[in-house]
Each structure stands twice: as C-alpha cells, then as structure tokens.
Structure 1
C-alpha cells in the first residue's frame, strides 16, 4: 500500500487530507446548508434560479484511454467510483463498450483536448475552457430534469503538468453527480479552488449524502430545497452523520491508496 501511495503522489504531486485540526465546517448545519445551495443550486458560468439535478438511474461508465498509464488511471478511477456509489446509493459500474454507457470518460492529451470537448460536450463548451485543466458536463432529461448522460475529458499531460491529475479524476466525476458549481462558501471542499487537497473532504461527503436523500427531488429550486435540507441536517446531527464525516471521507478506497 505504501509503495502505491508513493508512486501515485510521486507522479501526480497529490495533496490529501491527513487530519482536520481546523475548519470543521461540516459540523455547522447553517454552513452546510449555505454550501449546499451554492454548489448544487448555482452554476459556475451562469446566474439564475437553477433547479436541483441528480441521477435517477444507474451510472454506467465507459473509459477511453488515448494515452499511456491505463493501469494507474483505472486504479484511481475505480477507487473513487466505489466511494461515490457508497455515499450516494447510486449504482456505478464500468462497462466495456461506448454503446452501453451513459458516461463517457476520456483520458487524452492536450493536443486533442479541444477536439474531444467539442465532440462530447458540444461546441458551446469551448467558450468556457479558459483557465480549465480538465472538463466535464452532463445532459438532462427535458421532462424530468434528471441527469441522463455525461462526459469527462482529462488531458493527462496538461493535468500532470499542473499537478492536478488526481484532482481532475476526483472533481469531474463528482461534479457530474449533480454538484456543478465551485463556491467560496464551501470549504474545505473540492468545489472550492482555494482548497489545496485533492480528495473528498468531510464537507464533500455530507454534501453528496444530502443531494441523494430521497426528500430532495429533481427539479427543486433553492426556496423549496432549503427547509428540507435543514430538516435532514437536524437528523444528521442526531444520528451522528456530521460527527462521522471525517471517518466517512477517510474510508474511501482512494483515500486508503493515497491518504495514509
């Protein structure tokens, strides 16, 4: 295990959570509520009164390796997918062909990045690439508003040059679960650009658990969601979910690979 962790961090310059002496924000229900509204019900490139989105069906992922390093990329990807499924209750599996998938995940190179983004996410996605290191997006059912498909494109050489390959693997698939926005109000979190760590924080696991509570349904807006979020967070306090958030974050397979 130590050899794998050293290999991963040596190659990707990863930064992970070892302990949480400060910023125990996930213990404050008001803080969590505000962070949830900001990351789940707002959008990075557009203002407006957005609706809650998430998956209402199993996720099936096809990974296209266009560059070397498949074994290591698969190791990291599979570990994180296992944890996401555990946190959300959504079945997530890898499939062997593109036609079976509702998520297309491409490991490519910088020279092919724009081409793959346009192909998988549409030409409009090219307008929001300035400053981005990797890219993801999803499509919604026009009737229900649920997520029906998604694509993730990671230019491996570009991500590695920035020391962000692990962060891209973690953040992009997590965001297409239905948490599309980065926000200063969420900290420590992979949805905050000022957070240096690359793995899910305790706040992140609470946000993911919240999103996939059945009381929060696709199509809700902030005004509808807020009182339900408060109710769920009161329950989380009584059940010890918030107190256990550090242990939950650290229980993920990816953390076991690189976080110890």
Structure 2
C-alpha cells in the first residue's frame, strides 16, 4: 500500500486540509549522559551516512518493491488491451474519487462515513517547488527535481491548468523529499509553511506506520472549503526508484483534487491494489474532467453529472 487515500483535517484558520499518507518518526527515548572530565569528544565524520533506522526502512521498501514487481504489480504502461473501461466506468470512478473521502475530517485514520461532498480543485496556477532533507544525497536531488519538473509539465498538459515546477519562494505546492533522519527538519518546515496547522494534522507526520509511504496535504482558503490554495507533499527518501516515482505520481495528482481511492477504479493508481505504479490513461481522463472550466469548486455530483456526461461524450467524439 503506497498511500492511505486522503484524510480531511481542520487546519486552524487555514481552512481545509487533505492528507494522504505519511511516515513513522519516533522521538528519542533516552537522555545523553554527561561526558567524563578529561575525555575529548569523539570526532564526527563529515558524512556519517544514514542511521540504522533509515537503513532498515530502505531495506524494507526495497523488499516491498521487489515483491510487488514479482507479483506483476507496479505496472508502468498506463493500461492497455487487458484493462478496458467504459464511459460508465469513468463516470462511476470520477464520482468515487472526486466526491468522496477515505477518512473522516480531522480524525486521523478513522474511515469516512461514505457521504459525498463537493468537488475540490485549484483555480489559481499551481506553482510547485522541491525541497530536500539534509540526508538526501545531492545526486538523488538532481534526479528528483527532474522527475517532479517533468511530471508537473505532464499534469499541465493533461489538465490544461497552469502547473509549473521550480517556483522557489513563490511556490504554493511544496514537494518535500525527506527521510527518517530528517524528521525534525520536516516537522519544523511544515510548521513554517503552515504556522496554524492543527496538532492532529502535524501528528500524522510523526506517527503513521511504515505501510503508509507518502503524504499530501492540500489547504483551502478561509471562506471556501473547495478551492485549494496550498499543498504539501511528503515523499520518503528511503524509497527505491519505482516506489519513489509512484509516490510522486499519486500524491501530486491527489493534491490537485483526486482525493479518494476506489477498489473498482482500473486501470488507475487511485486503487490500493498497487497494480499500477504511475499515472494511467484512465487517470489522465479523470484529471481532464476535473479541470474542465464547466466543473466548479463546491459543485455536487448531482449537479455535475449532466456536465460530465456531456464532457465524456465530447471526448469520445473527438471534441475538445
């Protein structure tokens, strides 16, 4: 399981938060003892490398990735002749993924009650920026920056919405690659980005199990619970290549408004079965529909249904 769907959490005056997966980061349990007089402190190597805990996590995720691939999962082809879907499937999956949540608002991993909500999306340009924990090697940083930049360009093409990477201080969508050894840095950075984040939301960055691989938090404005204005994605740096890419694909797309997972969605990364690692042709259709100007933030599915029917029919007919 890469991701735990999206949790909705109240985030102080910042409005709505949508959270999807995280990492367990325990606090130190012992107090350092005083050094005997006359002893010199041990020399600290300039780069001690990852801690034992980080190495254990990296080995665990390498086994997870290998096991999934051996089962024929984590497919990267985007779907094919063995994964057909109809217009009815697309409509059903759009309803499940866009208008529902997997977890209850501000209640951690408590399952949602199944009631539908309003459509959520960005209306202003999405400006992504990548940041790294100090434990992430420089060579890996170059690879990750390029991956996010390429994916942001793809999301922009698919949605027709302005989405860019390398926004620097002007970013409103922060992509954090951090490991177990960067726990304190990650928490402090999130506090800086969202000073009024709720304790319940921040605690998720500390205490989720290792089965939850990555996380995204999307915040709305104070007076509109349906228009996103800021997001934070958290990607574990211990992941091997394919799990790392799968986290980027899923969390960045979920941060655009594809909030839920559905066991019936196929071919899709918004399904906890891990069949697909990367954004599929089906998922691209979901994003195109979501970012149609005819679908407005806050719109219910009943109101959106006839618009969706028309949009899907136009798409099948070759119209834009």
Q: Same fold (TM over 0.5)?
A: yes
Partner in structure 2 of residue 216 of structure 1? 295
Cα 1:195/1:122, change in 2 over 3 Å: same
Partner in structure 1 of residue 156 of structure 2? 85
2-side partners of 1:134 and 1:114: how far apart? Answer: 17
Q: Is the Cα–Cα contact under 8 Å of residues 219 and 231 in structure 2 kept in the other structure?
A: yes
Gaps of 5+ in 2: 1-64, 67-73, 104-111
* Higher normalized helix content (fraction of residues): 1
Partner in structure 1 of residue 215 of structure 2? 135
Q: What are the superposed Cα offsets for residues 192-250 of structure 1, whole Å, 9 maximum, x if unpaired?
A: 12142222111101100000111111101121112211121111111178xxxxxxxxx
Gaps of 5+ in 1: 1-11, 242-260
Query: Which moved further from structure 2: 88-97 or 113-122?
Result: 113-122
1-side partners of 2:286 and 2:160: how far apart? Answer: 13
Partner in structure 1 of residue 175 of structure 2? 105
Deviation (angstroms), 1:167: 0.5
Cα 1:114/1:239, change in 2 over 3 Å: farther
After superposing on structure 2, the runs of 4+ consecutive aligned residues of structure 1 that deviate more than 6 Å are none
Partner in structure 2 of residue 200 of structure 1? 279
Larger Rg: 2
Alignment RMSD: 2.4
Q: 1:239 aligns to what SS in structure 2?
A: coil
Q: 1:124 aligns to what SS in structure 2?
A: helix
TM-score, with length taken from structure 2: 0.64
Partner in structure 2 of residue 51 of structure 1? 118
Partner in structure 2 of residue 124 of structure 1? 200
TM-score, with length taken from structure 1: 0.78
Query: Which moved further from structure 2: 16-25 or 67-76?
Result: 16-25
1:36 aligns with 2:117: no
